[in-house]
């Protein structure tokens, strides 16, 4: 598979790059951002962290707003930020912000008109993972995943569904229980059909109770987040982890909202947390 470099810029001794490639999973061209620290530029194997973005976002939101380059350079981490959905002419879409392009929910759609292109679980956890591992100096077995909101849902579910690939997991304000929130119910009905029994395989609360997690989990959640009570419900995941005996650190951050101001404030803690688990 060929990686085309769209852009590259020096940052903190490394390079912030954006790549494009043809995706077999989505049947479209896909773009992703990759920060390579100085160690990676020298060809040294580096631990790697995937960052999954939320609704309406592309790779650009985290790349320009989160400030992760300095942190990734400090810990010698490769940081990969994929897009949130397939895009382009002929790709199904919806007028609403929470369905269609920009809202792939990190699942493989089975329903029309989404099924031909919306295969974001296969894309992130298989195709992109394998591509990055083959083309960049990724330290084998030292890959973690984090994400925000819809991307936090993706981080938690993909880690638990693919524990052979992701060694560490954290999240910012994740959608933890899509079976019990409007965002999840809308997206899963469209992408997976009306049978709620099939949704459970993509619900973090259900997955942690059924499959558990061998390590610990870190979640930060702002108390002033306007989506907290209706869409996010972190206490549901807290109860599920307690029931499953999984070590969860849920930090309720007073006065913080759902924005990148919140993410950038606590990102250093998450990068350090992943670095310790990926290199320890």
Sign of the CA dihedral running 161, 199, 246, 80? positive
pLDDT of amino acid 1: 61
Query: Mean pLDDT over all residues of the chain?
Result: 98
Which of these is catalytic: 53, 149, 168, 170? 149
pLDDT of amino acid 2: 84
| Residue 85 annotated in active site | no
Q: What predicted TM-score, i.e. pTM, was given to this entire model? A: 0.98
Residue ranges covered by each domain of the chain: 4-279
Q: Which DSSP symbol is given to 147?
A: E
Fold assignment, 4-279: Rossmann fold (3.40.50)
| Residue 225 annotated in active site | yes
Exposed, middle or buried by CB within 10 Å (0-12, 13-18, 19+), for 42? exposed
Lookup result for tokens 């709620």? 196
Neighbours of 38 (CB within 10 A): 14
Q: What is the pLDDT of residues 170-198, one digit of tens each?
A: 999 999 999 999 999 999 999 999 999 99
Tokens of 69: 């380059």
pLDDT of amino acid 280: 83
| Residue 195 annotated in active site | no
Provide block-wise average pLDDT over 10 residues at a time, the chain (280 residues). Answer: 92 98 98 98 98 98 97 98 97 98 98 98 98 98 98 98 98 98 98 97 98 97 98 98 98 98 98 96
pLDDT of amino acid 91: 98
Which of these is catalytic: 202, 225, 270, 274? 225
Strand, helix or coil at 27? coil
**Contact, 111 vs 193, CB < 8 A?**
yes
Lookup result for tokens 């009570």? 229
Which of these is catalytic: 153, 202, 258, 274? 258
Tokens of 74: 């400090």
Q: In whole angstroms, give the CA distance from residue 11 to residue 73.
A: 9
């Amino acid at each position: 598979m060929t990686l085309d470099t769209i852009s590259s810029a020096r940052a903190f001794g490394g390079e912030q790059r954006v790549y494009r490639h043809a995706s077999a999973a989505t049947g479209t061209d896909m773009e992703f951002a990759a920060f390579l620290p100085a160690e990676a530029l020298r060809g040294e194997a580096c631990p790697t962290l995937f960052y999954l973005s939320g609704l309406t976002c592309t790779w650009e939101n985290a790349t320009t707003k989160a400030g992760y380059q300095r942190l990734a350079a400090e810990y010698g981490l490769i940081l990969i930020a994929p897009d949130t959905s397939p895009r382009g002419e002929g790709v199904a879409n919806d007028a609403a912000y929470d369905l269609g392009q920009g809202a792939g929910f990190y699942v493989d759609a089975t329903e029309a008109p989404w099924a031909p292109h919306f295969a974001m679980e296969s894309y992130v956890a298989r195709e992109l993972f394998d591509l990055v591992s083959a083309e960049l100096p990724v330290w084998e077995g030292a890959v973690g995943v984090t994400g925000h909101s819809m991307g936090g849902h993706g981080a938690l579910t993909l880690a638990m569904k693919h524990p052979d690939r992701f060694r560490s997991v954290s999240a910012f304000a994740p959608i933890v229980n899509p079976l019990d929130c409007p965002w999840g119910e809308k997206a899963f009905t469209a992408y997976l059909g009306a049978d709620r029994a099939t949704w459970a395989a993509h619900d973090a609360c259900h997955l942690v109770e059924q499959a558990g997690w061998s390590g610990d989990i870190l979640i930060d959640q702002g108390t002033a987040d306007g989506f907290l009570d209706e869409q996010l419900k972190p206490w549901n995941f807290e109860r599920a982890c307690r029931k499953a005996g999984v070590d969860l650190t849920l930090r309720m951050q007073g006065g913080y909202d759902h924005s990148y101001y919140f993410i950038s404030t606590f990102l250093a803690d998450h990068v350090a947390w992943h670095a310790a688990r990926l290199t320890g």
